[in-house]
Amino acid sequence: MAETKQIVMPGDLLDPSLGKPRNGAYKCGENQFCSSYFGIVQVSDQFVDVVPFSGPYYPRRGDKVIGKVIEVGPSMWIVDINSPYSTLLHMNDTPWRTQSGDIKKYLGPGDYVYAKVMSLNEIKESWITLKDVGLRKLEGGHITSVPAPKVPRIIGKGGSMVNMIKDATETRIVVGQNGLIWIDGTPDNVMIAIKAVKMVEKEAHTTGLTDRIQNYLKELKGE
């Protein structure tokens, strides 16, 4: 029979023999840890994580995310990064020579940026920056989204999954840690890539996914 990953519910006791509990677990007694999510148990090295099936994105320092500009202030943009809290992008954290008051000509409401989370504080206010290699305004292309906990599966081991989709569909893809995905290419190819991404999302908790996606891509392209 096929091997399935262990599904846990909030409050379920985690098996202490698997390893040290890390993410998605809380202390629920003397030397006991319970799951705080409805998700799957993932064992890596000496740690045990509970990965939820869905849920919002929580910013962490250093994460590269895709955000949508929702408001322009005199010196800041307010950016929605698919998280419970919106984030701020200050004009000094961009590669452009901006001047207070006319920052609207660089980024307007509705534009997408690929940015890095620069800092965040105890009450979950966060700031992002565009000053790093590869960070930019995303022009053209399509945006699709998956729940943030599924992003590692979309990327695959060492980027294997996303590279396979890129090569098969001849598209450019940028995956943000927050679950937003930017895809650029010919309309047909973009549609195929979106379908493949949605398939990964739906079956993220099963094993042997890469091979199945490869076949699925061939099928979609009519090979």
Partner 1 sequence: MGTASDIKLIDENGLRIDGRSPTELRPIKIETDVLDRADGSAFIEWGGNKILVAVYGPREAYPKHTQDIEKAIIKARYNMAAFSVDERKRPGPDRRSIEISKVISEALSNAVMVEQFPRAQIDVFIEVLQADAGTRIAGLTAASVALASAGIPMRDLVVGCAAGKVDGQIVLDLGKEEDNFGEADLPMGILAKSGKVVLMQMDGDLSAEEFDKATELILDAVKRINEIQREALAGKFVSLALERGGE
Instruction: Tell me: does residue 205 bind partner 1 (CB under 8 A).
Output: yes
Nearer to partner 1, 92 or 160 (CB): 160
Nearer to partner 1, 124 or 218 (CB): 124
Interface stretch with partner 1, choices 8-16, 64-72, 172-180, 215-223 (CB under 8 A)? 8-16
- CA-CA distance, 155 to 50, in Å (whole number)? 19
What the block records as the tokens of 86 is: 């919106």
Measured in Å, how far apart are the chain's first and last C-alpha atoms? 31
| Interface pattern 162-201 for partner 1 (x via CB under 8 A) | ----------------------------------------
Smallest separation (angstroms) from partner 1 to the CB of 65: 17
57: left (phi over 0), alpha (psi -120 to 50) or beta: beta
197: left (phi over 0), alpha (psi -120 to 50) or beta: alpha
Residues 116-135 that bind partner 1 (CB under 8 A): 122-124
**Helix, coil or strand: residue 135:** coil
| Interface pattern 136-165 for partner 1 (x via CB under 8 A) | -----------x-x----------------
Which chain residues interact with partner 1 by CB under 8 A?
1-5, 7, 9-12, 24, 26, 28, 34, 36-39, 52-56, 84-86, 122-124, 147, 149, 202-203, 205-209, 211-212
